[in-house]
Amino acid sequence: MQSMQPQEGSYQPRERSTWQEEEQLAGQEIEQPYNESRWNIEERGEKLRPTQQQEPRSAQRPSARKALIFIAVLMILIGLLSSMGWGNVFNSSVPDKQPVPMHKPFQNSIEQTFQVNGQGTLTINGYFDSIYINSGPSNAVGVQSDTKAQVTQNGNDISIQGNYGPGNTLSITLPASMNLNIYNGDGNINISGTTSAVQAKTVDGNIFVENASGQMTLNTTSGNIGLNNVSLADNSSLTSNSGNIDFSGTLNAPGNYTMNTIYGDIDVSLPQNARFALDARGGDGVHNGFNTNDTGDNPHSSLTLRSDNGAISIHKQ
């Protein structure tokens, strides 16, 4: 049986090496290794030259547009949080240790006067940049403010309510014996010269008291508490979540006194003849200038100091 020889002019499939040789001669790049799926095949079965398959553009490099969109969204989110007063989430530093000094901030103001003839209570519930309270005449309460404050009087009790917004300051003179119940939603509280019971709270601000005496309950969420030349009465407490506490004065004995902060230092200055039993714990240590936790003769006052993430110092005046 004769072997079949290809006739001249008949179709003869070329070997793959022929393509390789031709492409090498032409200086073209050959994809290696050979992949059957990357060859075009005609109906008659001849294998043609491999086609160049390009990766999708998105797979070749990261999308710059997506990166820009992500950055823009992140910046908008940070701006919104800052405008909502959440700046503390990004800034965990303790506020300036020095409290706001006492002063009268007015050049032009609206003044109101209310007559009293006995011990009463001043109640403030509002939002002011700062509140200033100073002792004055024994028979009158004077109110100064940037805008006319909403004041009501019931006998010897005075009440101030309202949201006055940023840029508004309240200054009050009153009898030294008038009790204080103050809430300032977003601002400082400054008190001088009172001899009464004081309850004062602010969410975002400092509390400063000077030349005063009496039972005091002072609280700030984010701010410092400073007391200078103050004589505390029984069951007084000073509390700041994020701020320093500075006290210089005396503790009436016997009595129970507490000072607490989470992020901040506590600095206490007491007379050399102070009588107290100390219980102090500080995340950054405790320095006791009295060199003992029990000082003076009985009766003692109980002094409890706590700083979760700060230092505690007790000094002799």
Asked if 39 and 186 sit in the same domain, the reply is no
Asked if 152 and 245 sit in the same domain, the reply is yes
**151 lies in some domain:** yes
Task: Please list the pLDDT of the chain residue by residue as tens digits (317 residues).
Answer: 444 444 444 444 444 444 455 445 444 444 444 444 444 444 444 444 444 555 454 444 556 666 677 777 777 766 665 444 444 433 444 444 444 445 455 556 788 999 999 889 999 998 888 999 999 999 999 998 877 788 999 999 999 987 766 678 899 999 999 999 999 988 999 999 999 999 999 999 999 999 999 999 999 999 999 999 999 998 999 999 999 999 999 999 899 999 999 999 999 999 999 999 999 999 999 999 999 999 888 888 999 999 999 999 999 98
**311 lies in some domain:** yes
**198 lies in some domain:** yes
Q: In what order do the strands lie in the sheet with 225-232?
A: 110-115, 140-145, 169-174, 130-135, 188-192, 207-214, 225-232, 245-251, 266-270, 312-316, 286-288
Q: Read out DSSP for 75-108?
A: HHHHHHHHHTT-HHHH--PPPPSSPPPP----SS
Asked if 34 and 127 sit in the same domain, the reply is no
Query: What pLDDT is attached to residue 81?
Result: 55
**239 lies in some domain:** yes
Asked if 38 and 153 sit in the same domain, the reply is no
Asked if 139 and 274 sit in the same domain, the reply is yes
Q: Burial of 274 by CB count in 10 Å (0-12 exposed, 13-18 middle, 19+ buried)?
A: buried
Asked if 140 and 270 sit in the same domain, the reply is yes
**39 lies in some domain:** yes
Asked if 289 and 216 sit in the same domain, the reply is yes
**94 lies in some domain:** no
**265 lies in some domain:** yes
| Six token digits for residue 73 | 């969204």
Asked if 37 and 151 sit in the same domain, the reply is no
List helix spans (H) across 106-247.
Answer: none
CATH number of the domain residue 135 falls in: 2.160.20
**44 lies in some domain:** yes
Query: Which residues span the domain enclosing 38?
Result: 24-50
- State how many domains the chain has: 2
Query: What pLDDT is attached to residue 57?
Result: 47
